[in-house]
């Protein structure tokens, strides 16, 4: 489904994106910031617009979200430094978002609130009907947000859910993440060597990973009974107990400063309503998470005390800080080093008949003017003048050199040529830089056009895949399951297991039929692993699996309990009775999602339709299939049923054993009525063309058949296993 996430960058929204990506949802993100460069997890599309812009409605129309999640109390676009002005901005933003959602009137809207709306003392756990008692401006804004969502829900008939999260805490990465009670205690411990607590304050902590799971569970539900749910561990902990946990995790005790000796402050949300509707939640242990938080903050102590990033090695830091100076100094060092050989060459050339007219200093200045430009040309010219004067003073005094007009002519020539060449070099470089800058600008525009086109292509391809080529589409599932109609009524359930395995991509699938209010019998399976529970199970004693199926939900074995299949679903009749249980054992972990569960519900319903048609057909022909006044199948019906079992057995979908009963000369109707009391409901009695009486034992091998042979022998009816059916 299409999911629109709204909120500023932060740990909660990033982990929520990871969860939604794992569940296979298509995620669109509205950042709420026009120039957002904050790090987000990867999403399908990202919109950098503020909440007060006019394009919110256009975004909703473009995305057409099936689910909208607004971070609300945990939206990091609101800093709450100036609570008065920020609360006005928050309310206006929420109003604009809800108006955009109401205009399309599609999908579900989830608003994340917080336990901050309760600011006084509550002796009992706070349920969803308890009126808010905000104290701060932020708490008032959050409470007004809940009322605004409720108003839109009632007046516009929209599907809006408010989720109140109880004292969220997490493992921080930077100083900006230190926002909850636990991390602030650890920071104060490291910075001030003490912990300040409110003596009579009690709360309930909720770990961020738990919150992500429960938010998705509520947001992805098909139906819900209440518009407001509390998400909380409901495990009360005092500030003193939390401070002790922090001290134990840090390794040494520090002074605990008590404050707030007045009225008691207990704010603990009740999780009972969420628990009763969405199942028993599993919460991480607070003490273990506090130890991880303390260990992480202690390891990167300087990060949280200084607000800096993780330190690099000393040499790299020195190089980074002094890099600009060294890079600027290198041309001057090159100039000085290159001056030495040119000075020596100039001295050797004086008095030489071949090189007397060659000016090495001029070559030296021109070289650096061409390579580095005016700045180095000027520096090299100064060095050349110093070298020239130094050489002239070998034969003349400095005063004579200064009075010589040729000296000034040579100096002017040197500087003019050097500066002109350097200026031309700088101009050429500037023109080249401007052309490269223009080229980069045009390339960036081209990249933007390609990104826009790529986005359109991705959307088009995604829609094409969903409509035409998606293997899990309802159309393809229906096309595959409708192939069950080509089988005989007796064969439908055997091949249903094989077909279910292909659709869910599992080699280990089993189908059990309900025998009575306690037992279920194995009818068909695709592997030995799928039969590991046995031919008969007490399904009412399967704990969480039975309770989940009793609520008509798909069981997902998230705890990887070896006693249960990885996924299971029950099929019910029109009168509400459980008829069949479909179990899937071998399935990849990444496929154990709510999306796969919904797919299993669709597949089960389509298989149920095929089974229902086959059952009704057999009921219509019941008078023709059974010998009147007995439980014995006619020869044609028994042969057809036996062939169906044998074919399924050859394909590894079931096990069966055929027994021949020695009852020659007796009334088969009376014999069948006696023997049927010693058989299961899934076993059959009938005759074949040879005139003998047979029993077909379903899901039984030769060893299992020995028990039935003994039962028959005890009442005077010898029997034996038949292997060559045709004979």
Specify the pLDDT at position 321: 66
The better pLDDT of the pair 327, 521 is held by 521
CA 243/CA 344 separation, integer angstroms: 77
Cα radius of gyration rounded to whole Å, the chain: 41
Strand, coil or helix: 152: helix
- Asked whether the predicted pLDDT for residue 638 surpasses 70, the reply is yes
Query: pLDDT class for 111, splitting at 50, 70, 90?
Result: very high
Cα 127 from chain centre: 30
Query: pLDDT class for 350, splitting at 50, 70, 90?
Result: low
CA 118/CA 164 separation, integer angstroms: 11
- Asked whether the predicted pLDDT for residue 469 surpasses 50, the reply is no
Query: pLDDT class for 727, splitting at 50, 70, 90?
Result: very low
- Asked whether the predicted pLDDT for residue 488 surpasses 70, the reply is no
- Whether the Cβ atoms of residue 433 and residue 424 lie closer than 8 Å to each other: no
What six digits make up the tokens of 69? 């999640």
CA 177/CA 182 separation, integer angstroms: 11
Specify the pLDDT at position 354: 66
Return the domain boundaries, the chain. Answer: 1-165, 314-427, 476-620, 623-722
Query: pLDDT class for 178, splitting at 50, 70, 90?
Result: confident
The better pLDDT of the pair 139, 680 is held by 139
What six digits make up the tokens of 499? 């077909």
What six digits make up the tokens of 623? 């008078």
**Region 299-314: what's the mean pLDDT?**
70
- Whether the Cβ atoms of residue 110 and residue 218 lie closer than 8 Å to each other: yes
Q: How many CB atoms lie within 10 A of CB 260?
A: 14
Specify the pLDDT at position 591: 67
- Asked whether the predicted pLDDT for residue 566 surpasses 70, the reply is yes
CA 287/CA 276 separation, integer angstroms: 26
- Asked whether the predicted pLDDT for residue 520 surpasses 90, the reply is no
User: What is the signed CA dihedral for 35, 38, 41, 44, rounded to 10 degrees?
Assistant: 0
Among candidates 4, 258, 20, 256, which has minimal Cα distance to 111?
4
Specify the pLDDT at position 331: 78
Long-range contacts of 324-328 (CB under 8 A, 24+ apart): none
pLDDT, tens digit, 9 for 90 and up, residues 142-172: 999 999 999 988 888 889 999 999 888 888 8
- Whether the Cβ atoms of residue 611 and residue 493 lie closer than 8 Å to each other: yes
CA 146/CA 228 separation, integer angstroms: 9
Tell me the CATH number of domain 476-620, given options 3.40.50.300, 3.30.450.40, 3.90.1300.10, 3.40.50.720: 3.30.450.40
CA 201/CA 422 separation, integer angstroms: 75
- Asked whether the predicted pLDDT for residue 68 surpasses 90, the reply is yes
pLDDT, tens digit, 9 for 90 and up, residues 391-421: 777 677 767 777 777 778 878 888 888 888 8
Strands (DSSP E) along 526-607, which ranges?
A: 536-538, 555-556, 567-572, 578-584
- Asked whether the predicted pLDDT for residue 715 surpasses 70, the reply is yes
- Asked whether the predicted pLDDT for residue 345 surpasses 50, the reply is yes
Q: Counting Cβ atoms within 10 Å, is residue 562 exposed (0-12), middle (13-18) or buried (19+)?
A: exposed
- Asked whether the predicted pLDDT for residue 348 surpasses 80, the reply is no
Tell the residue number behind the tokens 């009442």, with chain if given. Answer: 715
Q: Counting Cβ atoms within 10 Å, is residue 377 exposed (0-12), middle (13-18) or buried (19+)?
A: buried
pLDDT, tens digit, 9 for 90 and up, residues 184-231: 888 888 888 888 888 788 888 888 888 898 898 888 888 888 899 998
Q: How many CB atoms lie within 10 A of CB 354?
A: 7
Specify the pLDDT at position 620: 54
- Asked whether the predicted pLDDT for residue 382 surpasses 70, the reply is yes
- Name the least confident of 255-269, 299-313, 371-385: 299-313
- Asked whether the predicted pLDDT for residue 347 surpasses 60, the reply is yes
- Considering the entire predicted model, what is its pTM? 0.47
**Region 52-72: what's the mean pLDDT?**
87
- Asked whether the predicted pLDDT for residue 36 surpasses 70, the reply is no
**Segment (H or E) for 348:** helix 314-349
pLDDT, mean over the chain: 80
Name the β-bridge partners of 556: 567
Which residues contact residue 287 at a Cβ distance below 8 angstroms, ignoring those fewer than 6 apart?
245
What six digits make up the tokens of 390? 């130094």
Specify the pLDDT at position 142: 92
Cα 307 from chain centre: 29
The reply to whether 1-165 and 623-722 are identical in fold is no
**Fold of the domain built from segment(s) 623-722:** Alpha-Beta Plaits (3.30.70)
The better pLDDT of the pair 306, 357 is held by 306
Q: Is the dihedral of CA 674, 675, 677, 682 positive or negative?
A: negative
Specify the pLDDT at position 313: 62
**Region 51-59: what's the mean pLDDT?**
84
| CA angle (289 as vertex; 558, 258 as ends), nearest 5 | 145
CATH fourth-level superfamily of 1-165: NAD(P)-binding Rossmann-like Domain (3.40.50.720)
Q: What distances in angstroms separate CA 201 from CA 236, 484, 625, one per listed residue?
A: 10, 64, 75
Quick one: what percent of the chain has pLDDT higher than 70? 86
Name the β-bridge partners of 567: 556, 584
pLDDT, tens digit, 9 for 90 and up, residues 249-286: 887 777 888 776 556 788 889 888 888 888 766 678 88
């Amino acid at each position: 489904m299409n999911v629109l996430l709204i909120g500023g960058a932060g740990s909660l929204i990033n982990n929520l994106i990871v969860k939604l990506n794992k569940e296979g949802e298509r995620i669109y993100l509205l950042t709420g910031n026009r120039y957002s460069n904050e790090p987000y997890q990867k999403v399908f599309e990202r919109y950098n617009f503020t909440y007060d812009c006019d394009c919110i409605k256009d975004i909703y129309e473009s995305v057409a979200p099936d689910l909208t999640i607004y971070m609300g109390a945990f939206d990091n676009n609101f800093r709450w430094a100036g609570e008065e002005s920020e609360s006005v901005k928050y309310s206006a933003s929420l109003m604009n978002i809800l108006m955009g959602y109401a205009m399309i009137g599609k999908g579900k809207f989830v608003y994340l609130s917080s336990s901050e709306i309760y600011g006084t003392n509550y002796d009992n756990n706070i349920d969803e009907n308890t009126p808010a008692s905000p104290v701060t401006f932020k708490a008032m804004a959050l409470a007004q947000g809940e009322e605004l969502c409720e108003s839109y829900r009632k007046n516009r008939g929209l599907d809006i859910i408010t989720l109140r999260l109880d004292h969220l805490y997490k493992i921080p990465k930077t100083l900006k993440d230190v926002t909850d009670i636990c991390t602030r205690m650890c920071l104060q411990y490291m910075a001030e060597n003490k912990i300040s607590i409110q003596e009579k304050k009690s709360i309930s902590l909720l770990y961020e990973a738990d919150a992500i799971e429960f938010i998705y569970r509520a947001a992805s539900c098909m139906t819900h009974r209440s518009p407001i749910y509390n998400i909380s561990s409901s495990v009360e902990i005092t500030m003193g107990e939390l401070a002790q946990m922090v001290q134990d995790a840090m390794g040494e005790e520090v002074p605990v400063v008590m404050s707030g000796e007045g009225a008691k402050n207990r704010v603990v949300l009740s999780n009972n309503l969420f628990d009763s509707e969405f199942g028993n939640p599993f919460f991480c242990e607070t003490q273990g998470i506090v130890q991880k938080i303390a260990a992480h903050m202690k390891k990167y102590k300087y990060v949280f005390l200084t607000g800096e990033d993780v330190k690099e090695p000393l040499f790299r830091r020195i190089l980074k800080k002094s890099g600009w100076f060294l890079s600027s100094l290198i041309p001057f060092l090159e100039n000085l080093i290159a001056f030495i050989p040119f000075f020596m060459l100039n001295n050797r050339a004086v008095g030489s008949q071949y090189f007397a007219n060659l000016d090495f200093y001029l070559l030296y200045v021109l070289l650096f003017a061409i390579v580095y430009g005016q700045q180095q040309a000027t520096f090299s010219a100064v060095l050349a003048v110093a070298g020239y004067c130094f050489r002239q003073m070998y034969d003349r005094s400095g005063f004579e050199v200064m009075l010589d007009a040729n000296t000034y002519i040579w100096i002017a020539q040197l500087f003019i040529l050097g500066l002109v060449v350097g200026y031309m070099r700088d101009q050429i470089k500037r023109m080249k830089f401007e052309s490269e800058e223009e080229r980069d600008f045009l390339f960036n525009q081209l990249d933007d056009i390609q990104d826009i086109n790529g986005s359109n292509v991705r959307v088009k391809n995604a829609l094409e895949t969903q409509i035409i080529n998606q293997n899990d589409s309802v159309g393809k599932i229906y096309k595959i399951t409708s192939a069950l109609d080509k089988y005989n009524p007796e064969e439908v359930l055997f091949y249903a297991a094989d077909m279910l395995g292909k659709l869910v991509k599992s080699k280990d699938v089993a189908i059990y039929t309900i025998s009575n209010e306690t037992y279920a019998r194995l009818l068909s399976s695709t592997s030995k692993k799928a039969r590991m529970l046995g031919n008969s199970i007490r399904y009412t004693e399967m704990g969480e699996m039975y309770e989940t199926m009793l609520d008509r939900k798909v069981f997902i074995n998230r705890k990887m309990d070896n006693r249960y299949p990885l996924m299971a679903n029950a099929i019910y009749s029109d009168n509400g009775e459980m008829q069949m249980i479909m179990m899937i054992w071998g399935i990849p972990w990444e496929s154990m999602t709510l999306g796969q569960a919904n797919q299993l519900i669709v597949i089960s319903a389509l298989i149920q339709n095929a089974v229902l048609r086959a059952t009704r057909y057999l009921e219509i022909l019941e008078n023709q299939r059974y010998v009147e006044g007995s439980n014995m199948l006619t020869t044609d019906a028994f042969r057809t049923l036996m062939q169906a079992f044998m074919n399924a057995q050859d394909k590894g979908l079931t096990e069966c054993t055929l027994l021949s009963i020695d009852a020659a000369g007796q009334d088969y109707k009376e014999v069948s009525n006696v023997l049927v009391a010693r058989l299961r409901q899934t076993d059959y009695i009938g005759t074949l063309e040879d005139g003998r009486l047979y029993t077909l034992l379903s899901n039984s091998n030769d060893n299992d058949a020995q028990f039935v042979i003994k039962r028959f022998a005890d009442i005077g009816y010898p029997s034996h296993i038949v292997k060559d059916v045709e004979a």
